[in-house]
Amino acid sequence: MPFSNLTIDIDSLPKQEDVTLHPVSKKFKAVQWWNWSILWLIVAALFIGFLFLPKVNYTNTTIILISSALLLVAIVHRLMQQLSFRFRAFALREQDIIYQQGWLIRKKEICPLSRVQHCSVNASVIERKYGLATLELFTAGSNGADITIRGLTAQQAAMLKEVIIQKTGNDQ
C-alpha cells in the first residue's frame, strides 16, 4: 500500500468526500437564464450586423448553415447550464471551504481558510435583482488556486465572508 509508511491513520482524518454539500440558491437558475439570454442576444445581433456589412454577400444556404450552427451551440450551452445546476454546491467546514460545480467535468475545489489572503463579495445587476451574490476567495497561489462561489444568497455570502475574515484574523 502506498500509505503504509505513514504513522498518522489517514482513515481517521475527517473525510471531505463525506461532507454533505448545500446546493446553491434555486434563484441562480434565473440568473443563469438571464446571462445566457444576454450573451446569445449579443451574438445574434453581431451576426445580423455582420450580414449587413457592405462586402459580405452570403448565399441563403450559408446563412442558414451558420445560424443553425450558432443555434446548436446556444442550445448545448443552455443544456449544460441546466444539467450542471444541480451539482453546484458548497460547504463550510471548521477549517476549509468546499465548492463543487460542473456536470461534464465535475470539479471540487477545497481551500483551507488559513490560506485565504482576502475575500470579496460581488453582485452583478442581475444577481442583485434576485438577491444573490458571488463570493471570491483569493489565495497566494496561481490563478487556478482562487475560488469563486456563485449562486449564494446575499446573506449566505455575507455570513461566509464574516466567518472567513474572523478565521483568517484568528490565524494570523
Partner 1 sequence: MTNNTWTQPQRQPVKALIYVFYKTLLTVLKVFTPLLISLMFKKTNDESRIWEYTAMLIPVLALIAAVIRYRFFKFYINDKQQLVVQQGMFNRKQIILPLEKVQAVNVQQQWLHRLANLSELTFDSPGSTGQEAKITLTTPQANALKQYILTVKNLGYVATSETIQQPEIKTNRLYDLDPVSLIKLGLTANHIETFFIVLAFGYSLLQNIKTASSDYYNQSVDLLSGYVVYKSVLGVLIITLFVIAVSVIISFVRTVLQYANFSIASVGNRFQIRTGLINTKEVLVPFSKVQYISWRANWLRTKAKLYLLQFHSIGQLQVKEKQKVKVPLTRLEYLPQMLAYYHPLLATDTTAVQVHPAYVTRKYILVILPLLLVILTVAYFNAFFYWALVLLVYNTVSIYLFRQKFALRFNEQALYIQRGSFGNDELILLWHKIQSVSIKQSIYQRKNKLASVHIHTAGGSINIPYIPLATANKMVNFALYKTETQAWQ
Task: Point out which residues bind partner 1 (CB under 8 A).
Answer: 1-8, 10-11, 13-17, 95-96, 104-112, 114-115, 117, 139-142, 144-145, 147, 171
Cβ closest to partner 1, residue 34 vs residue 103:
103
Strand partners, 134: 122
CA–CA distances in Å: residue 136 to residues 8, 147, 172: 33, 6, 20
- What is the smallest separation between the CB atom of 8 and partner 1, expressed in angstroms? 6
Q: What are phi and psi of 2, to 5 degrees?
A: -65, -20
Cβ closest to partner 1, residue 55 vs residue 107:
107
- What is the smallest separation between the CB atom of 145 and partner 1, expressed in angstroms? 3
- What is the smallest separation between the CB atom of 63 and partner 1, expressed in angstroms? 24
- What is the smallest separation between the CB atom of 129 and partner 1, expressed in angstroms? 31
Cβ closest to partner 1, residue 144 vs residue 169:
144
Name residues whose C-beta falls within 8 Å of residue 137's C-beta, 6 or more positions apart in sequence. Answer: 97, 111, 116, 119, 146, 147, 148, 149, 164
- Name which of 95, 94, 90 is nearest 21 in CA terms: 90
88, with CB counted inside 10 A (0-12, 13-18, 19+), is buried
Cβ closest to partner 1, residue 3 vs residue 52:
3
State which H helix or E strand residue 98 sits in. strand 96-101
Cβ closest to partner 1, residue 99 vs residue 130:
99
- What is the smallest separation between the CB atom of 90 and partner 1, expressed in angstroms? 13
